[in-house]
């Protein structure tokens, strides 16, 4: 990851900038609503052990420590994905390659399956319900340091 940041530093002009956007650990939340009624709210178990997210934070910190970039500003926002069925949401993630396909820990997979089974059951019994998937993300503006 830091090697990628070194390469980005090379490709960006000395007076340019880097914007990094990445999800915040343990923050994704899966919800089912029908109108204003909240039928389900569960953390996404997949994020609990997604090692790539803390690694992103570490890589940015290391890039600063190595003198590649300075952090100018940071902010956070919520990205919400809406779907009418669970299958639609999962098809979307699969089709767009939204997630790392490296095998997950067995316990995480079991926990994920339990959340999705619960969601499926609720959706079958609640016509008109809508699924929302909430991801918190951090956005950081970084300024290159030194010569190109």
Partner 1 sequence: MTIRVDPENNEPRALFSLADFNGQRVLEIGCGDGRLTWRYADKARHVTAIDAFEGSIARAMDNTPDDLKSRVEFRHTGFEDFAATNRAGTFDLAILSWSL
Q: How far is the CB of 136 from partner 1 (least distance, A)?
A: 10
Q: Cβ closer to partner 1: 58 or 114?
A: 58
Judged by DSSP in three states, 120 sits in: helix
Tell me how far apart the alpha carbons of residues 92 and 121 are, in angstroms, rounded to a whole number. Answer: 20
Residues 6+ apart with CB under 8 A from 68: 5, 6, 9, 144, 145
Please tell me the number of Cα atoms within 13 Å of 14 on its side-chain side.
Answer: 3
Q: How far is the CB of 107 from partner 1 (least distance, A)?
A: 25
Site residues for partner 1 per CB under 8 A: 1, 4-5, 7-8, 10-23, 56, 59-60, 73, 75-84, 88-89, 92, 95-98, 130, 137, 139, 141, 148
Q: Cβ closer to partner 1: 45 or 144?
A: 144
């Amino acid at each position: 990851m830091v090697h990628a940041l070194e390469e980005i530093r090379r490709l960006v002009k000395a007076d340019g900038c880097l914007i990094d956007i990445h999800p915040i650990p343990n923050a994704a939340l899966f919800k089912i609503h029908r109108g204003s009624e909240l039928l389900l709210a569960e953390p996404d178990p997949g994020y609990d052990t997604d090692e790539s997210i803390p690694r992103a934070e570490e890589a940015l910190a290391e890039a600063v420590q190595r003198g590649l970039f300075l952090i100018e500003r940071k902010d956070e926002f919520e990205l919400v994905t809406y779907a009418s069925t669970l299958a639609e949401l999962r098809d979307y993630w699969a089709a767009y390659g939204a997630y790392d396909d490296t095998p997950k820990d067995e316990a995480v997979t079991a926990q994920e399956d339990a959340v999705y089974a619960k969601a499926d059951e609720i959706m079958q019994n609640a016509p008109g319900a809508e699924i929302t998937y909430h991801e918190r993300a951090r956005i950081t503006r970084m300024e290159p340091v030194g010569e190109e």
